[in-house]
Amino acid sequence: MIHKATVSDVKPIKGLINLYADRGDMLPRALGELYDSLRDFHVYEDDGRVIGVAALHVGWEGLAEVRSVAVDPAYLGKGIGRALVSACLEDAKALGVREVFVLTYVDKFFRKMGFSDASHDDLPQKVWTECRNKCTKYPDTCNETAMTLNLD
């Protein structure tokens, strides 16, 4: 079951995100940051346990980012990530967002959802603030794929 995240979901969200962050697959998130951005998140629960998360962060006029997509490894391949990203895209449409982007290492997944490769240069510089401030791979060893999806 997918629902908007609540305060009680923050610690499980942090656990899932940081599981992947520890492997270098996404940026880590601190508790304070998660509480600040709680309204961005959807969670997928199974028997009362958070097993998947995704966030939609509006960061620019008409442009939002799908980020922090993480699914418990024991549940991969069951459509949970797809359902969470779809929930984020529905939010984006309801908010009037025209374009959504991702920075990802799993481009095949997002291609299946209709995203297309984009040039990093096509995204506003504001997008790179987190990369500059948090990512040890930026800019020299960053090999994330930038992808966009037009919602018009």
In this prediction, residues 94-98 reach a mean pLDDT of: 95
pLDDT value at position 141? Answer: 45
What is the maximum span of the chain, computed from C-alpha positions, in angstroms?
43
**Domain extents in the chain:** 2-150
In words, the CATH class of domain 2-150 is: alpha beta
- Of the CA atoms within 13 Å of residue 4, those in its CB half-sphere come to 7
Q: Report whether pLDDT(129) > 70.
A: no
Global pTM?
Answer: 0.87
Q: Which residue has the higher pLDDT, 106 or 115?
A: 115
Share above pLDDT 90 across residues of the chain, in percent, rounded to a whole number: 68
In this prediction, residues 110-128 reach a mean pLDDT of: 78
Q: Does residue 64 contact residue 90 with C-beta atoms inside 8 Å?
A: no
Distance, CA of 111 to CA of 105 (rounded, Å)? 12
Distance, CA of 106 to CA of 70 (rounded, Å)? 11
Q: Which residue has the higher pLDDT, 50 or 136?
A: 50
Distance, CA of 21 to CA of 27 (rounded, Å)? 5
Q: Report whether pLDDT(93) > 90.
A: yes
